[in-house]
Chains A and B, each alone.
Chain A
């Protein structure tokens, strides 16, 4: 299908991009890797007047260290995130989740920032971002602001970003030495998650010292499984203890029903997959 006509501009700095966004007004859209936006345009579910392509903004690409955090540019592709040594070392959960996103073609074009900004509840990078207490660095006309992941994801496809704002980078607190696993459940390879669980744990001796667990597609936004985390802290890293903790995974959730899974089954999956994710993490 063919999108409705639009104007196109490709700024080369964040400042220019913010300016272009303000100038183009409400009906402008930022173009990241285009892997979610283009299907929407081609199906004519949206018809922005202007596309502001961030592809030429070099400062938005790449991963760097900043003290206790990694800073990942919004335009860093999934492929680059996956194989980045800093990500592997300090944010293994993000690397594992990114491995499960779509297929190699999509991973070469789609971006971390685009996924976060798009905020699809089935997107695989939201739960890791939430679980690891990341922060979103946002640029607008009035300068930059930082929003915690817990406040960033507002609703289905809705974030704290204002229409005239850009996501610039994501600050990921280092989880050096933490074990991680992303357990994704879908029906065919390369499909979106029906439910998925992001788990990262710090093991001391034979017990779990700290745990972070995030759930994908269990609500309009990613969900943090605090009850599971609390139950895991101090627990022995055994399948039985983990299973007992995982039984709390669906607490307080009210997931949607669709053709792939009704709410009951989603809650069941959340519990089962949480057990598997944490077990895989501790043994990984």
Chain B
């Protein structure tokens, strides 16, 4: 028989197998689920940011057509417990109990105050309007700097302070570097800057939705969540329900960006109400509720001091942050800025480093993870600082970077903030990006436009970023006081016909796991791509998992799959050897076939599967199954990096910014599916550019969100973005067998500073040193004309 050469799956730009159903919507979104006798829930939300609830009158609503129940915070005060926060960053962190339904006070506009359950969605909505709530308004805390000043008004009276915790790292204390104050005192050049990371809204496409079915032995919750496994555990722990009596299913989920890495008040309320009524209940938020009440992201004030020598060598970096928690600490809220602590030193060799962050309570929607979580903030600040240092020194910004970055021959390299970067090649990525960008020609055009005072000025922005991905080594998480580990689990099962079921503890919500995992397993087991099915997101079929966030699915989740696959092959080898009457050591496995070394005697792994099923003739002591499970706990993070270059045209007459070209060269290690990588990069860039130019959650002086619809919260569309030029260099990660690093957040982390650097660069010669994000036309115009106006 001829052996067909099988083209490897890994590296193929396959279209994603899940896309047809996701794009057409012919699939099971949570909101599509209809159960017999299902009721609909609607939530009344506080219109004010801080108030005592003096009375709630639900009597009229209770009597309305179709209404089955009206629930207030007082009704479930005991049962609801406190929403969980899994990341107590310090021993003395202040974390007030966080109710799902407000009991006596409301702490942010949009907080849930009452819930109506009715036979139809319309009836539930009608009844909401009949609930009368009296609020005695209290002074609001909105500004972080004011909040931590003496005599500030308080978000939570009983805490006596708005500061939740202060977390510090100091290289002199840690023994990883020198004393930053000394470095600053000795600095030939010292640059001080303060940046504002505006508050953002994740704005995932599918609003959050939950269905709870309390009938039967287990209570089943379907939720549009990123974290079905963590959610089950947290429901059990916070509501005091036995874990094995809860099943959580994340069906197809339409985006998350960290916004669905949460245990939400709405999930808890639906859970409690359904259980109380003994009937299935569905809740799907409106877009306005989603923008207002789902957790927000970013929102920091970053004060940086950088010391350097005249030749451009950085000698010290000091970072002081205020991070807005909003009104309560949600699942990982306090840890988000702390993740950034490891990233301010970025790709640079910084001999002295100090980081301090104070987490602050305000009367705003809680913040939490949002694509990049802590790392985009840090990357923005350091990449902006590199440009500022270059200006201060009169050096070319790429040259300052190169002077300070870790050279490719210096890896592995342990940074001042204690991480060990396993691999990287900043020189290669930068050279390729410069080339694709036409760097020198654009610099020449910039000079020309400046010289002739062109109303449209050109700017060039650089971001040579890295990030820590693959959250995370459990030991590291433990040392940071995180409440859980960072492993991932998988199972690989060969069915009797040789088809393969893979169970992953990762929980995709748009990333394309089904395709990528199938490619990996098809190559590993030597079976056709079509013969592999990926199961996920249901705690009944996938009993163990740590879910999807922090660019961890491939680096941790797929590694668990690979590990389970190895076990399957090992076992199949024993059986194949038995079938071919030789020793297992004499059997080679390649492209799905076991061959007796040096002979043409062979048996396919899919045939072994059938023999295992029949179990007529297995070696002694071998169980008749070809299933394996594995849990992978990474030993290190992975460190994708890249060089992003952006050219912007700034219309100095109106302040309008147009991105003329955007080039990125990312090094994400080995590439499983280039098309998925391209998609992740494009989406990531769009999101990072959105922070630079378009998006901002704005509150008025009473604490009301004034960007509460998509008319005001400007999520850009394809029409607002340039055509991206993307490229890759491949420096394989050494910390995992696949050599992968993760690509889910790269574009978002890298692009924001590239764009803002380009905007500032375009008008720097007009006396502009910084422009606050988002760089709206008005801000840009005011920056240019500020003095003269």
Contact = CB atoms under 8 A, between A and B. Distances in A.
A1 B711 contact: no
A74 to B, nearest CB: 24
Nearest to B121: A2
Contacts of A188: 694, 714-717, 719-720
A264 interface: yes
B723 to A, nearest CB: 15
A192 B711 contact: yes
Given A187-B694, A272-B653, A259 B707 contact: yes
A194 B777 CA distance: 11
Given A4-B126, A259-B707, A265 B778 contact: yes
A260 B778 contact: yes
Interface of B: 121-122, 125-126, 129, 286, 288, 653-654, 656, 694, 698, 706-707, 711-712, 714-717, 719-720, 776-778, 781-782, 789
Interface string A172-208: 0000000000000101111110100000000000000
Q: Do most interface residues of chain B lie in helix, strand or loop, or is the interface mixed?
A: loop
A44 interface: yes
A268 interface: yes
Given A2-B122, A5-B126, A259-B712, A189 B707 contact: no
A259 B698 contact: yes
Contacts of A260: 776-778
A213 to B, nearest CB: 18
Interface string A264-280: 11001100110000000
Given A4-B129, A268-B781, 5 more contacts: A185-B654, A191-B711, A265-B782, A272-B654, A273-B654
9 contacts: A1-B125, A43-B288, A187-B777, A188-B717, A188-B719, A188-B720, A191-B714, A259-B706, A265-B782
Contacts of A264: 789
A144 B475 CA distance: 80
A69 to B, nearest CB: 35
How many A residues are at the interface, by size bracket? 20 to 34
B146 to A, nearest CB: 21
A269 B654 contact: yes
Contacts of B122: 2, 5
A262 interface: yes
A26 B288 CA distance: 29
B125 A2 contact: yes
B335 to A, nearest CB: 31
Nearest to B706: A259
A261 interface: yes
Contacts of A43: 288
Contacts of B694: 187-188
Interface in A239-284: 259-262, 264-265, 268-269, 272-273
Contacts of B653: 272
Nearest to B120: A2
Contacts of A185: 654, 656, 777
A153 B129 CA distance: 33
Contacts of B789: 264
Contacts of A187: 694, 714, 776-777
A2 B289 CA distance: 13
A5 B715 CA distance: 32
Max chain B C-beta neighbours (<10 A), residue from A185, A187, A190, A192:
A187
A262 to B, nearest CB: 7
Contact of B778 (A192, A261, A273): A261
B75 to A, nearest CB: 25
A189 B656 CA distance: 13
Contacts of B778: 260-262, 265
Contacts of B717: 188-190
Interface in A19-35: none
A189 B658 CA distance: 12
Closest 8 CB pairs of A and B: A189-B719, A2-B122, A1-B286, A2-B125, A265-B778, A188-B720, A188-B714, A272-B653
Contact of A190 (B125, B129, B719, B782): B719
Contacts of A189: 717, 719-720
A1 B125 CA distance: 8
Contacts of B781: 265, 268
Max chain B C-beta neighbours (<10 A), residue from A5, A43, A189, A265:
A265
Contacts of B782: 265
Nearest to B122: A2
Nearest to B707: A259
Contacts of A190: 717, 719
A185 B658 CA distance: 13
A177 B127 CA distance: 58
A187 B655 CA distance: 11
Contacts of A273: 654
Nearest to A189: B719
Contacts of B125: 1-2
Nearest to A42: B286
Nearest to B781: A265
Contacts of A259: 698, 706-707, 712
Nearest to B712: A259
Contacts of B707: 259
A1 B714 contact: no
Nearest to B690: A188
Contacts of B698: 259
Contacts of B719: 188-190
Max chain A C-beta neighbours (<10 A), residue from B654, B714, B720:
B654
Interface in A28-67: 43-44
Nearest to A257: B778
Contacts of B720: 188-189
Nearest to B657: A187
Contacts of A268: 781
Contacts of B714: 187-188, 191
